[in-house]
Amino acid sequence: MGTTTSLPSATVRKAVARPTGTSAADAAAHPAAQQTPVRPALVSTTPRGPLEVVAMGCEPARDLEPQGLGLTYWFDAAPSGEPYSIAVRFTGRRISSDDPGMGDAFDVVHTVDRVIPGSGRIALTARIPGVSRGEWKVAAEPVRGPEPPRTTGTRATRPALLPTATSTGATTYFPALGALGPGVRLTAWPSLVGAGALVAFILQGLLADQRDLPVGRLFLVSVLASLIGVVGAKVYYLLTHRTEKSPLLRAGMSVQGFVIAALATLLSGAWLTGISVGPMLDVTGPGLLFGMAIGRLGCLLGGCCAGRPTASRWGVWSSDRRVGVRRIPVQLMESGMAATVATATLFAALTVDVPIDGLLLVAGLAAYILGRQFLFPLRGLPRLTTWGRVTTLIAAALVLVAVMAIEFGAQTG
């Protein structure tokens, strides 16, 4: 699990940054100037200063190559006004180097493009690759932006105080830094996704036994389908995020890719092993949806699929692995939605005599996909196209209506 550390002797001074649209009274009362440490809900340790060096908790892996530095700069959003941007300059020098060469010093600028006034405590994490192994002295300083345009008859915006600080820390294994930072837990995603898969297999087995399906063969086919689904999730993500240029093992995953690859494998495996396809789909649906509900909690704690920043009181402080801030809890919303659909599907599997085998899975996935389309605009990353979401939403709605019409016709016929 990742932690962040800073020396108690770290020096702090005030620097100016300019959130436009903030009144002079608001700027004077800016909470960043008070330097009172605040621990957001999902952060495991209270920040001891404005600048922290990210450290890796797994000591055996800490010294692996390649090495890198992770730095987290803490500040507070302005209490009111219009959204604004903040740039922070990170500099560092290796302590043990008298004559710095390549890899012994760095100077980079990272920007938070849209700070929402009133969103509270914010953590900006910068990751520095290609640095030499060892102890480093690092500094973070807000970059003063251009003067805001003046409007006749109004007072000029007064700069808000943001902290400038120095600290020291050691390099660590750079590939792991991508999953380390405030509010991000290194093992959360695989642990909760694994727990979701376990719940899915158990529930599938119980329902399969009730329907007199071969539980052992179905379990083996489902495990294979899940493994191929993981590959499909990565491939789908790479195809839809081509600008990221991430290697396969470090790329993100897409639930759409998982579902497509896993279901294709499940159907093929059922046909090859002599398992009745329709009943198999019906007993798989509830577990699949419950598994996704549990897995989405791993997304929240793992720093992926993050919601948009918000100043709302119902926002949840979480991270996208770069910026930790109060956000729309879209992962929790999707988890709750998946759990609701899973519960309805399970109830139907236990009590409803469906007219066509396989309709339960089709209805459950259609409802889940439909709900996801309404949640996508709440995410922090924009969609690649506008028509894709609308097309998927209409298709899922039509499928769900068709399933309901078939069931209604069977009940009244």
Tell me the domains of the chain and their CATH numbers.
15-174 (2.60.40), 188-213+276-412 (no CATH)
pLDDT recorded at residue 162? 84
CA dihedral 382, 385, 391, 394 (to 10 degrees): 30
Q: Between these two residues, 28 and 136, which has the higher pLDDT value?
A: 136
Phi, psi of 151, rounded to the nearest 5 degrees: -110, 135
pLDDT band at 384 (very low <50, low <70, confident <90, very high): low
Would you say residue 152 has pLDDT above 90?
no
Other CB atoms within 10 A of residue 274 CB: 8
User: For a pLDDT cut of 90, what percent of the chain falls above it?
Assistant: 54
Does residue 217 have a pLDDT over 60? yes
Q: 122 falls in which pLDDT band (50, 70, 90)? A: very high
pLDDT score, position 207 = 96
Q: Which helix (H) or strand (E) holds 321?
A: none
How is residue 83 annotated by DSSP? -
Burial string for 109-126 (b: 16+ CB within 10 Å, else e) reads ebebeebbbebbbbbbbb
Residue, of 26 and 181, whose pLDDT is higher:
181
Query: Per-residue DSSP letters for 249-295?
Result: GGS---HHHHHHHHHHHHHHHHHHHT--HHHHHHHHHHHHHHHHHHH
- Mean pLDDT (whole number) for 81-98: 88
- Chain segment 263-314, per-residue pLDDT in tens: 999 999 999 999 999 999 999 999 999 999 999 999 999 988 899 999 999 9
Name the residue with higher pLDDT: 162 or 52.
52
Q: Which two tokens stand for residue 293?
A: 């509900």
Arithmetic mean of pLDDT over the chain: 82
pLDDT class of 387 with cuts at 50, 70, 90: confident
Q: How confident is the model at residue 406 (pLDDT cuts 50, 70, 90)?
A: confident
